[in-house]
């Protein structure tokens, strides 16, 4: 692993993972996409991205799952830097080159939008480094071209996403929620999970089931989030991709069951998985749940987090030392 060093003139942003409290997936469209309704919730598991001026753009990654993170132009943070440079008219050799250092705590290909998070952090950090003065809305527009989860990683909190998930409206939420996240042994590629979802649905349609409807926001979930009562929120967590994720990683069934057995108020696969999110009554209950799920031996690692938390933001270099 390449060591990460502190550099003069460097700007750091940190950015949270997301989980989905609701993920409703519409029928397959003719262009290969699905209309979504997603309730995003940012949780306190953060990646950090540091950018500093350089002669050419390079990426260094440390931390969780680094073997699966590309170091070239397909890295989403690199794409974000290039997109911001283009949008702000920074051209010419050297003017938009940066060294990008990514410290990953968000597992890769885990349904937690870690790559999108790094893109959002790179946008915020380079906006500051270059004095570009793009507004949050402008960064959101640039981010939406990079990936549908990038706009949410910029704003954080809890928000409803429609379209491909990139058209956001802030959700009204009371209080803070305590979660346990259980990470799978291996990742799941989002495209594989959508393909499995389509296969399962077409098999069900062949068996005479009614066609899949257009996705709709759960008004019950919205009311429960406004109430601030985790016991009301827990049973309303849903994910249309869960059956597909379970078909690809059957061990996830045991992870979800272990969480429910040990007192989780709700248990759901996040996004395309394989991370499972368990809602607890409070921080003490979440600690107990984390210990119990670890003991059940059905996942690679467990972390305790809370949400909602804000989106990508600059790290104060003085406070960080």
Residue 74 or 95: which CB sits closer to ligand ATP?
74
Tokens read off for 34: 């699905």
Q: Tell me if 170 sits within 8 A of 158, measured CB to CB.
A: yes
Q: Is 301 helix (H, G, I), strand (E, B) or coil?
A: strand
* Residue ranges binding ligand ATP (CB under 6 A): 68-70, 74-77, 102, 108-116, 118, 149, 190, 271-272
| Minimum distance of ligand ATP from residue 249's CB (angstroms) | 13
| Minimum distance of ligand ATP from residue 302's CB (angstroms) | 18
Stated as kind and residue range, the H or E segment containing 222 is helix 219-227
Q: How far is residue 80's CA from residue 306's CA, in Å, rounded to a whole number? A: 27
Q: How far is residue 163's CA from residue 147's CA, in Å, rounded to a whole number? A: 12
Q: Tell me if 238 sits within 8 A of 24, measured CB to CB.
A: yes
Residue with the shortest CB distance to ligand ATP: 115
Residue 85 or 292: which CB sits closer to ligand ATP?
85
Tokens read off for 101: 């250092």
Residue 21 or 265: which CB sits closer to ligand ATP?
21
| Minimum distance of ligand ATP from residue 153's CB (angstroms) | 9
Backbone angles phi, psi at 189, to 5 degrees: -80, 130
Please list the active-site residues: 18, 149
| Minimum distance of ligand ATP from residue 172's CB (angstroms) | 25
Q: How far is CA 155 from CA 134, 150, 151, in A?
A: 14, 9, 7
Residue 21 or 112: which CB sits closer to ligand ATP?
112
């Amino acid at each position: 692993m390449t060591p990460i060093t502190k550099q003069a003139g460097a700007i750091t942003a940190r950015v949270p993972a997301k989980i989905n409290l609701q993920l409703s997936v519409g029928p397959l469209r003719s262009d290969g996409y699905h209309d979504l309704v997603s309730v995003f919730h940012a949780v306190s598991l953060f990646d950090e991205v540091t950018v500093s001026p350089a002669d050419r753009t390079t990426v260094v990654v440390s931390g969780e799952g680094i073997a699966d993170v590309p170091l070239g132009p397909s890295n989403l943070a690199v794409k974000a830097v290039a997109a911001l440079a283009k949008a702000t008219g920074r051209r010419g050799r050297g003017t938009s080159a940066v060294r990008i250092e990514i410290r990953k705590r968000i597992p890769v290909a885990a349904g937690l939008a870690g790559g999108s998070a790094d893109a959002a952090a790179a946008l915020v950090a380079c906006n500051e480094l270059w004095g570009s003065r793009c507004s949050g809305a402008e960064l959101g527009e640039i981010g939406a071209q990079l990936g549908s989860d990038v706009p949410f990683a910029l704003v954080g909190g809890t928000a409803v996403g429609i379209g491909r998930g990139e058209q956001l409206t802030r959700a009204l939420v009371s209080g803070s929620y305590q979660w346990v996240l259980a990470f799978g042994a291996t990742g799941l590629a989002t495209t594989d999970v959508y393909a499995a979802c389509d296969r399962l649905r077409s098999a069900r349609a062949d068996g005479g089931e009614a066609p899949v409807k257009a996705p709709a926001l759960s008004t019950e979930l919205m009311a429960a989030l406004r109430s601030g009562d985790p016991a009301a929120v827990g049973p309303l967590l849903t994910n249309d991709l869960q059956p597909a994720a379970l078909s690809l990683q059957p061990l996830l069934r045991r992870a979800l069951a272990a969480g429910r057995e040990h007192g989780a108020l709700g248990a759901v696969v996040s996004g395309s998985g394989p991370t499972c999110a368990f809602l607890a009554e409070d921080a003490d209950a979440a600690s107990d749940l984390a210990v119990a799920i670890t003991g059940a031996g059905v996942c690679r690692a467990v972390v305790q987090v809370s949400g909602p938390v804000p989106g990508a933001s600059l790290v104060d270099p003085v406070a960080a030392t």
